[in-house]
Amino acid sequence: MPHLSPMNWLFTPLLMILILSSLMIILWWQFTPRFPMLSNKSLSSTFSPSWHWW
């Protein structure tokens, strides 16, 4: 089906950009403590113990 090839040329870079941006966001959340207030005992008790960003 040749009429699907322009759609592939459109969607594959978009998928690559989305995957790369999601990976960058995940790495950014893991390596930079965006919210230092979460390290407090009062706020960390509200979260589950298995919930770790960094």
Tokens of 50: 């298995």
| Residue 50 dihedral angles phi and psi, to the nearest 5° | -85, 0
Provide the residue-wise pLDDT of the chain in tens; the chain has 54 residues.
455 677 788 888 999 999 999 999 888 887 766 555 555 554 455 555 555 555
**Which pLDDT belongs to residue 1?**
45
